[in-house]
Amino acid sequence: MSRQDINRSGEMEVFVSVVERGGFTAAALARRMTPSAVSKLVARLEQRLGARLVNRSTRKLQLTPEGCAFYERSIAILADIAEAERQASSGEQASGRIRINTSGSFGNHVLAPLMPAFMALHPAVTLDISHTDRIVDLMEERADVAIRAGPLKNSSLIARKLGATGKIIVASPDYLRRHGEPRTVADLRRHCRIGFSYARAVEGWPLREDGETITIPITPGVQVGDGEAMRHLALSGAGLARLAAFTVRTDIDAGRLMPVLDEANPGDLEEFYALYMGQGGPLPARVRALLDFLASHVRI
């Protein structure tokens, strides 16, 4: 068979079904094929690629590292194909409910100000927005889109980057009058540092000292479950907080919060992504419209 005769997207669709449904038999049922046909297709694919994608020796299907990489690229490519076909066809109107799950900080400072313009463009769309900083299961939460910071961990999701923000250590003028302003990284030990109550990708504050970046453990006097609660505690004078720049910019301009140890800021960036389920056919027009709007309008 020549390379031109190979249906690569069809192979990818079958392979993705095998992975997501946990085996050849379930994938065969979903694709209206026989289990032997699915097994042979995957075997031909492995032979053509020159790499084993699936270990068949265990009761439970197990992907090899090459299989994991091929699966992740396949779902991204299939999503691109669906989008290309959508753009080439007559566009459908965005309508219906969009369920969005986002952090309180992003929801209040970025999403809420943009939504009136989005709703004006798509009057047939309704929004259902929930706020939480914890990582959620989109299917369990019945969310169409989740907006989160940090690297993508779940390969069953597609990520669309929305931007990146710096981080700033801040405190209220009242707190600094009562406790003094830390002048060095070592001074942080005698200050109350507000931390998060859930696991973070980096447990601590990265800071520059003597030309090197070090991570200072939080050992917080106060722990909170979301960034907005942390911001309000800082505003009330409870302690120092390290927050996304877009959440405190207005507070700094108004004098409600003051930057602390700016010279020790390492300049690290926190990236924000819109996450959505990429398999199972083309995206609904309402979800596609939201993703396109966010990619064009979010500024952080």
- Closest to 192 in 3D by CA, of 215, 173, 209, 176: 176
For residue 20, give the amino acid letter: E
Cβ-Cβ contacts under 8 Å for 184 (sequence gap 6 or more): 261
| Cα-based torsion angle of the residue sequence 93, 143, 244, 184 in order, rounded to the nearest 10 degrees | -160
Predicted local confidence at residue 87, as pLDDT: 61
Give residue-wise pLDDT tens across range 205-224.
889 988 888 888 877 678 88
Predicted local confidence at residue 170, as pLDDT: 97
Q: Give the start-to-end residue ranges of the domains of the chain.
A: 8-89, 94-299
Q: What is the CATH number of domain 8-89?
A: 1.10.10.10
Contacts 24+ apart (CB under 8 A), 225-228: 225/133, 225/134, 225/196, 225/197, 225/198, 226/103, 226/104, 226/105, 226/131, 226/132, 226/133, 227/103, 227/104, 227/105, 227/133, 228/103, 228/104, 228/105, 228/108, 228/131
CATH class entry, domain 94-299:
alpha beta
What pTM did the predictor assign? 0.64
Predicted local confidence at residue 42, as pLDDT: 92
Predicted local confidence at residue 89, as pLDDT: 53
Sign of the CA dihedral with 195 first, then 201, 204, and 205 last: negative
pLDDT beneath 70, residues of the chain: 1-5, 57-59, 86-92, 134-141, 151-156, 198-202, 220, 278-281
Give residue-wise pLDDT tens across range 81-110.
877 776 655 456 788 889 999 988 999 999
